[in-house]
Amino acid sequence: MKWICRGLSSLVLVLGTFLIFQTVLAEEKVEQKKEQKSSHKLEEVTVTDKKVGEPVTSPYAVPESSKLATEVITAEEIEALHPETIWDVLEQMPGMEVTFQGRMRLNLLSMRGNGNYGVILDGVYVTSADRILATLPVDTIESITVVRDATALSLGPLTNFGSSSGSSNQGFVVIKTKRASKKVEGGAIVSYGSFHTEKEHLYQGAKIGKFDYRVAGTHNSTLGQTNMYNASRNTSVLLRGGYTSPVFSGDLFYYSSRGMRQFQRAECLVPKTVKKKVGGKTVTYLDWSTVGQLSNQKWELDPMISDMVAVNLNKPWSDTQTTTFSYAYNSLIVSSTQDTFLNGTPSVRDQSSRGQSASLRHVINSRNNLLRLGGQYFQYVSPDGFPPNWNMRSDEDMYSLYVQDEYRLLGDKLTIDGGIRADKKHFNSDPDTGYAIDEWAKETYTYALGTSYKLHRMITLTGRYAYSENSMSPYQLSADGTKLPPERRSRYEAGILANLHPSFNPSLTLYYYDTKNQKVSSTGVDPTTGTVVSSYIDPVTGEEVSFVDAEDVRTKGLEFGLSGTILKSFTYHLLYSHVTTDNTETNNSTPHHLASGRFSYKYKNADLNLSFRYVSPYSKTEYYELGDYTRVDANIRYNFKVFDRDTRVTLYGRNLGDNHYTTTYNTGAFYDPGLQYGVELAYKFW
């Protein structure tokens, strides 16, 4: 088994080279027939609603039965939101909860109450996404696709990999950046807002025959709130280009960013428990003297350097046969500095990581059948590891094989699909000691079945079942220090989509998860203070270490959506999600109700955009409560001409209600800064 798995990565590279060689030989011959074979073109398709999807040959395509659990937001919709970072976009998706950690983990994302997910950026399988995604300029994004259930077997590993979660992947976030769409294009965007926040963005691109390129440079910086120690800055360059012809398509992605980020000071809300001897007796009392005070700790990442590169190649051999090869590499160089406002001694720790991936996929699209099969390789290396195993090298590989078949019946009204994926992890370092080893973990499997039925031209019914296994993660601790058993999850899902009218399109998804040995919150002893806690902050690294236990958990939820366009000038998207579990700790730490909405109104050269987000309360104690907030953002844009060039001015406001909500608590509460506002000018040179 060992030599088979290792040979897979070599085979992928050899076949990729073979694809290029065969393309060069065939280019002239097939070019003469391009009119007859124009259907082979693999140009990217921009998705505008659930009815339009990726080409079946795309590596990001999902079966029909998964499309109801797949949400797509386009570049135009992202621009209307006017988000600060990608996280502002993701929290508008159904079933998505974004929390601000305030420490080294930065932003965290949960899908349907589960925090493990995969991120794919133009072919790069991104690890440490919580640190990198905030640096990616939103002006460079073409689309973001969220697959909320990990039953699309071809996207990536469905067991935890390069993460600190012991749970199965709950879904994937697929991000595509912009490619040039016309002969010459270019422009600049500048903005300035509260907290001395500024942005400068410059881009230029061209589409010349079969070739295209687009390069963008961006600088962002903010001084943050006074006395809150939450400044940041980042400078990045992004290049996207490629070649598209009837017989071959290829694209290149390169992204490099340099920056730093400070971490907001936490406000203490919980009194200390103090024991004191009085008259020979031990008296316990609460010390409220620190409540309401800001933490004196100073944490920051400086520098934070990220580099990514990816190559994606597509080769159509015939009307029915298409092969795709991808290779990607990413590197994150991070220095974590811990200091104090009380003139302490700074402590600097390296928290760098790197990874690479390769995949070979083949699609056979016959008249009534669509067969997808392929293999993938992933590598992740963190030289200094993660808490609680700090200073222990983490080095692991993942080898994956999958096959998924989809059959169409009754004139394409009915589709039935099924598939299996195997993920096998190899450890190059011992998860417990960090020493070099050569050890294979037990392979994990995911099985999926699905169906989609067009009951009426306006109504589609879907159903899915999947079973997944998950290997243990070394980065979580049980209260007694023992290893926890692997997780096994059965997923059931049913949905209905009704495209009744351009102004009224409702959808409903119901899901139920039965999970054996799910990792749930537990308690243990903080090695620094000796107190019993559910989590603690490593005093050296700033990472949060969670105590967990394994229990059988049943999760159920629903997602409801409503969207439409009225009189061509007003569009709306309304989303509501509900999730609950039968585990008390998990249930108390999860918001049961999430709601969001996006509204756009256009009048002549102006448009008004408004969005809101509601998160119900959770983790309520006698001292603090998380969530329980409604955030409203809005912007107004006006388009006009300057020197006969397209120009746009945007006035924006975020958190208009000045709501200082908090979404997490460990050493204290990290409050949202509240109302932010500013102005942006966009100008197109061509």
Q: What is the pLDDT of residues 260-287, one digit of tens each?
A: 999 899 999 988 888 888 877 888 888 8
Q: How many residues does the chain have?
A: 686
Per-chain mean pLDDT for the chain: 86
Whether 381 shows a pLDDT value over 80: the answer reads: yes
Rounded to an integer, the average pLDDT of 29-58 is: 49
pLDDT in the model for residue 115: 73
Query: Is the pLDDT score of 238 beyond 90?
Result: yes
Exposure string of 512-542, with b = 16+ CB inside 10 Å and e = fewer, is ebbbebbbbbbebebeeeeeebbbbbbeebb
Residue 647 banded pLDDT, cuts 50, 70, 90: very high
Task: Dig out the tokens for 544 from the structure.
Answer: 């949060």
Does residue 45 surpass a pLDDT of 80? no
- Is residue 188 within 8 A of residue 202, CB to CB? The reply is yes
Q: Which of 198-212, 311-325, 435-449 has the lowest mean pLDDT?
A: 435-449
Q: What angle is formed at CA 216 by the lines to CA 214 and CA 219, rounded to 5 degrees?
A: 175
- What confidence score (pLDDT) does residue 170 get? 83
Question: How high is the pLDDT of residue 633?
Answer: 98
Residue with tokens 């909320």: 148
Residue 483 is predicted with a pLDDT of 73
Mean pLDDT of 51-70: 83
Q: Average pLDDT, stretch 463-486?
A: 73
Burial of 367 (0-12, 13-18, 19+ CB in 10 A): exposed
Would you tell me how many other CB atoms lie within 10 Å of the CB of residue 611? 23
Q: How many CB atoms lie within 10 A of CB 644?
A: 5
The percent of residues in the chain predicted with pLDDT above 90, rounded, is 59
In this prediction, residues 547-562 reach a mean pLDDT of 90
121-143 pLDDT, tens digit each: 999 998 888 888 999 999 999 99
pLDDT, position 109 = 87
Average pLDDT of the segment spanning 353-374: 95
Handedness of CA 163, 169, 173, 174 (dihedral sign): positive
Which of 346-360, 421-435, 526-540 has the highest average model confidence (pLDDT)?
346-360
How high is the pLDDT of residue 42? 33
Q: What is the mean pLDDT of residues 168-187?
A: 91
The more confident residue out of 143 and 11 is 143
pLDDT for the residue 215:
98
What is the structure's pLDDT at 208? 95
pLDDT given at position 3? 38
Owner of token pair 């003469």:
32
If pLDDT is split at 50, 70 and 90, which confidence band does 25 have? very low
Could you tell me which residues come within 8 angstroms of residue 313 by beta carbon, excluding any fewer than 6 positions away? 16, 19, 20, 248, 249, 250, 324, 325, 326
**Burial group, residue 435, by CB count within 10 angstroms (0-12, 13-18, 19+):** exposed
Beta bridge partners of 429: 436
Amino acid identity at 185 = E
Q: How many CA atoms lie within 13 A of 492 on its CB side?
A: 7
pLDDT (0 to 100) of residue 630: 97
What's the confidence (pLDDT) of residue 199? 98
pLDDT interval class at 54 (50, 70, 90)? confident
Domain ranges across the chain: 2-265+296-684
Give the pLDDT score at 526.
74
The share of the chain scoring above pLDDT 70, in percent, equals 85
Query: Is residue 655 pLDDT above 60, yes or no?
Result: yes
Compute the distance between CA of residue 550 and CA of residue 548 in angstroms, rounded to an integer.
Answer: 7
What is the C-alpha radius of gyration for the chain, rounded to an integer number of angstroms? Answer: 25
More confident residue, 554 or 27: 554
| Confidence (pLDDT) at 407 | 97
- If pLDDT is split at 50, 70 and 90, which confidence band does 629 have? very high
| pTM recorded for the entire structure | 0.87
- Determine the pLDDT at residue 644: 95
Q: What is the pLDDT of residue 387?
A: 56
- Pick from 73-82, 149-158, 398-407: least confident: 149-158
Superfamily of domain 2-265+296-684: TonB-dependent receptor, beta-barrel domain (2.40.170.20)
Asked if residue 542 has pLDDT above 70, the reply is no
pLDDT of residue 331: 95
Interatomic CA distance for residues 1 and 442, integer angstroms: 11
Over residues 538-551, the mean pLDDT reads 70
The alpha carbon dihedral of 71, 73, 74, 75 has a sign of negative
Which pLDDT score, from 0 to 100, does residue 167 have? Answer: 60
Count CB atoms within 10 A of the CB of residue 257.
Answer: 21
Checking if the pLDDT of 120 tops 90, the result is: yes
Q: In this predicted structure, what is the pLDDT of residue 494?
A: 96
Best CA proximity match to 65, nearest among 153, 143, 125, 145? 153
Residue type for 199, please? K
pLDDT, mean of residues 545-570: 90
Alpha helix stretches (DSSP H) within 579-683: 584-588
Q: Using the structure block, give the residue that is written with the tokens 């001084």.
A: 223
pLDDT(31) > 50: no
pLDDT band at 21 (very low <50, low <70, confident <90, very high): very low
pLDDT at 482 over 80: no
Q: In this predicted structure, what is the pLDDT of residue 131?
A: 84
* Arithmetic mean of pLDDT, 616-628: 89
Token representation of residue 665: 């608590």
Examine the pLDDT at 258 and tell me if it is beyond 60.
yes
Q: What is the pLDDT of residue 599?
A: 98
